[in-house]
Structure 1
């Protein structure tokens, strides 16, 4: 009954509302327009290889970043064509190419016949969904066509909107039909079993941990700032910050920077729009701000304001202490990108959306604060007590290392079911 409700009422209604909203939003309008041509683009991509591809769906750029180790393994070791689909424009528009990806597409509209045509064109050997962006027909049509569908890096907190009565009724047929669910932790695996009546959900881990370690190794070879800017300084990186985050941390940060000339800050907005960058620049101007886009040689300003995307994970290498944003808005961003460098990580109360943020706090490497005063106390504490900072940093780094190798565990799971043979087609 819930499948019919979704197919004939809920999704058509969502489809209409999206088109109405697109009249007032250029980004949404562009994304919808691209979805109308997705079948034609799929045909062109399919012609590039005779081998059946692995189709990986990532909602946005963050999820794509996390599955890069899996993509690389499928491509290099098993010679599989890999095709990526995105739901969000933030993924599709900012990633034009990747050496291990054979094609990028928007996820097609989730109408039964559209999805069926999409799969018929691409003939995927398997469909992999990263994290949580499960669509009903995306799964049910694939299973009817005998295409295995796996949910990886899967998380489901007890307070997730997907555990609500209506959401469970709608999503249950899809989750029950998934060939396999691979959760990021035992707690998440148990929650899936409880709410979606799955007899087996395996706790494999999160490929995010594999990727942050790879990204760290790459970042250590890069020179992103003029040599010497960070020398003898105590560098704080504010990662993926929103307006709501800045309202909590900017005033105490300025107070501390005036008190301690040793402090330097790299501020990285989640969305470096002209309006937000301008607001931050004005707010911090009394300390001295330099935009990243204007850095060509040595500079003396103590605050670097990053007005581009894609380099935050690399910039954490300069940090002695990090704050991860989103934790005073809708949900925290990636704490592991900072933790892998062995530094204390601060964040706000809205972090239950990320299991690793909850667990990092329990290990003694993550620190949650609610007020500006608490933020100020944490920063001053780690600035003045190097021994305590190093102990906390060791805990964060060990936490990251203890959770790697999810990619290899997934490959081992699939060896017998999808006939992955090194070098085969």
Structure 2
């Protein structure tokens, strides 16, 4: 089975350069991997002791960051090597300050896995949330590498728990320990014979608390908000933006609206502008003195979302009217900001729990959306209670990083 799997991955490796010609992301995926072994060989010439972290993309990087920071303190003489699978993670965080070397992960052929691990020879390895590459796992098992899954998520519909999933179940035996987010994941793993499990929670809670402690409100945001209420529409998609444009166009003065779209390509920004019937400004072209007159500000740049949520009176987290679903509700929740989302959130444990507890309001239609936004704007006590529940939920679920580090301290 490993041979067949490796042949299929090798075939993908050969075909990708041809397919990538018409896709910028695929071009990055291919070209970014072309020099990985050369970079790694050069880095390893000084024969450093290494610790390897692997993340799929940007979200998993944020989950892994609290562990990376603590590991760096606990192992100050080691070098951290960070790999990404996805261009959307690598391209945004390739110049991060936590890792000593940041690379794409070569595709999971047996030859790539063997070469990568022989060069790197890591003392510890951390995979974040998921990413189960059988050849890499088999090679680490062969080398008796200490491999840990942190903030792991397991669901009953995954291949590990199907009658035909033996190949992948065997791959999981490479892990020295599983740090999972919840009891459901732990029970699923126990059901297929694993006992090396700790229910540690999700390191994202630790991450958002750390970020919130250092947030600063930029001058332009203060200038835009003034004394009005501020609604921040974060990580929005076209369906979210259409909903909001309809609402904004009929809204009264006294509330400002700030969009931070998920996609900041000019086509989506232009379409959003086309739908608005009130004065608006765009971050890339704004003038401070003109901001007070604008009702809407469109932030066509990345890196500001946390400071935007910190200043919000109400937050809307986008993605819930499409697939794969909503973005991170914890980012606004930590500030005690009442949060509204669309209906597609069931695959996100923290959002599901917050909706159930009343810390996040979910809407599934334009009528329900208008009702909830009006409620939060017109009933400050209700808004404060929703925000308080959300903030308390985040604070009560911190500690995953400490759980992992306690275990490592006993190795």
Q: Are 1:52 and 2:44 matched, yes or no? A: no
Q: Are 1:291 and 2:282 matched, yes or no? A: yes
Partners of 1:162 and 1:292 lie apart in 2 by: 46
* 1:186-265 alignment, distance < 5 Å: 186-194=183-191, 196-219=192-215, 221-223=216-218, 225-255=220-250, 258=251, 260-265=252-257
* Cα distance change, pair 333–192 in 1 and its aligned pair in 2 (3 A): farther
How far apart are residue 275 of structure 1 and its match?
0.8
How far apart are residue 133 of structure 1 and its match?
2.0
Are the counterparts in 2 of residues 60 and 89 from structure 1 also a CA contact under 8 Å?
yes
Partners of 2:312 and 2:49 lie apart in 1 by: 44
1:233-261 deviation digits (Å, cap 9, x = unpaired): 22111111112333444323433xx2x31
Q: 2:32 aligns to what SS in structure 1?
A: helix
Q: Are 1:351 and 2:345 matched, yes or no? A: yes
Q: Which residue of 2 aligns with 1:269?
A: 261
Q: Are 1:377 and 2:376 matched, yes or no? A: no
Partners of 1:126 and 1:370 lie apart in 2 by: 45
Q: Are 1:149 and 2:143 matched, yes or no? A: no
Are the counterparts in 2 of residues 248 and 371 from structure 1 also a CA contact under 8 Å?
no
| Structure 2 unmatched runs, 5+ | none
Are the counterparts in 2 of residues 291 and 305 from structure 1 also a CA contact under 8 Å?
yes
How far apart are residue 17 of structure 1 and its match?
5.0
* 1:271-420 alignment, distance < 5 Å: 271-284=263-276, 286-298=277-289, 299=291, 300-329=293-322, 330-417=324-411
* Cα distance change, pair 192–379 in 1 and its aligned pair in 2 (3 A): farther
Q: How many residue pairs end up in the alignment?
A: 407
Are the counterparts in 2 of residues 226 and 297 from structure 1 also a CA contact under 8 Å?
no
Are the counterparts in 2 of residues 237 and 266 from structure 1 also a CA contact under 8 Å?
yes
Are the counterparts in 1 of residues 228 and 255 from structure 2 also a CA contact under 8 Å?
yes
Point out 4+ residue stretches in structure 1 off by more than 6 angstroms: none
Partners of 1:164 and 1:296 lie apart in 2 by: 58
Q: Which residue of 2 aligns with 1:22?
A: 20
* Cα distance change, pair 288–189 in 1 and its aligned pair in 2 (3 A): farther
How far apart are residue 319 of structure 1 and its match?
0.9
User: What is the RMSD computed on CA atoms of the aligned residues?
Assistant: 2.1
How far apart are residue 231 of structure 1 and its match?
3.0
Q: 2:214 aligns to what SS in structure 1?
A: helix
Query: TM-score under structure 1 normalisation?
Result: 0.90
Partners of 2:201 and 2:219 lie apart in 1 by: 31
Ranked by relative contact order (alpha carbons within 8 Å, sequence separation 6 or more), the top structure is 1
1:1-21 deviation digits (Å, cap 9, x = unpaired): 4x344223x423443553443
